[in-house]
Structures are given as C-alpha cells and as structure tokens.
Amino acid sequence: MPLKISLKPGEKFVLNGAVVENGDRRATLVLKNRASVLREKDILQSEQVDTPVKRIYFPIMMMYLSSKSDDGLYDEFVLRMNEFMGVVSDPATLNECVAVSRDVMAKEYYKALMRCRKLLDYEAERLA
C-alpha cells in the first residue's frame, strides 16, 4: 500500500537516510514501496536527547533510519527501557513500554516510535 505524504513549504524529512527539503510550495509525495521516512518533527538530534524517554526514542529512531543491523543501538534501547520501567508505576504507561518493546523486537521501528511519542507525552506531563 503506497504511503502518501503531504509536505508544507520548506518542510524537511528523512527518506532512507537522505535529508530532503520541500521547495517553496505545498507538495504531495507518494511512496510506492517500503522506505524509512521520518518528518522533521519526529527527528531528534543527539544534543536533544536529555530525558529518559528521549534516551529510549533515539536508539529506536536510529535503528529505523539505519539500513544495517547495529546491536549496540538495540542494547542501548534495552538498557534505557529497563531503567525507565524500573521507576514507572503507572500500569498504562508500563503497558505502553511493553508494546514499544514488542514492536522493537519485531523490527517494527516506526510503530515503536509512534508508541514512544505517547511516552514522551507522559514524561512531559511529569516534568511540567
């Protein structure tokens, strides 16, 4: 099933590791085959990784964007997820952590990233 992406003028995204920037008008792209795509708003730079959930999100993002298997990224994800789950007591949040972990183990990285966004919201509420 094709993926349709609508882009704002000047919006950036990553497509299979390449940073692409839209021109000065709205545009729509249709990707006909499987590709790793992340919009600018979903990309974390390494210097932005400053909270526990961002330390979970970042290695998932890197696994998603990488074309090769990197056990170091997976190990980093496992370490950070275990640390986070060790201090969280909310059952719904713990269930979301388990779902993120399942997605990562199944190599469904994009799905894991979108679930991880919920954890970012949870964290933002707690840090506010």
Q: Please indicate, yes or no, whether the overall pTM of this predicted structure exceeds 0.85.
A: yes
Taking Cα atoms as reference points, which of 31, 44, 41 lies closest to residue 4?
31
Q: Do 61 and 34 belong to one domain?
A: no
Dihedral angle over CA of 100, 104, 108, 110, nearest 10: 60
Lookup result for tokens 């059952």: 91
Q: What is the CA radius of gyration of the chain?
A: 16
Q: Is the pLDDT of residue 68 over 90?
A: no
Q: How many CB atoms lie within 10 A of CB 39?
A: 13
Residues 63 and 112 in one domain: yes
43: how many CB neighbours lie within 10 A of its CB?
Answer: 15
Please state, in angstroms and rounded to a whole number, the distance separating the CA atoms of residues 40 and 74.
Answer: 23
Average pLDDT in the chain: 92
Same domain, 121 and 63: yes
pLDDT of residue 81: 97
Residues 73 and 86 in one domain: yes
Tokens 């183990």 belong to: 105
Angle at which helices 71-87 and 91-105 pack, to 10 degrees?
A: 170
Q: Does one domain contain both 36 and 55?
A: no
Q: 57 with 113, same domain?
A: yes
Percent of the chain with pLDDT over 70: 99
- Domain range for residue 19? 3-41
Query: Residue 79 to residues 4, 39, 71, 85, 86: CA-CA distances in angstroms?
Result: 35, 26, 12, 10, 11
Highest mean pLDDT among 14-28, 59-73, 95-109: 95-109
Q: Are residues 26 and 88 in the same domain?
A: no
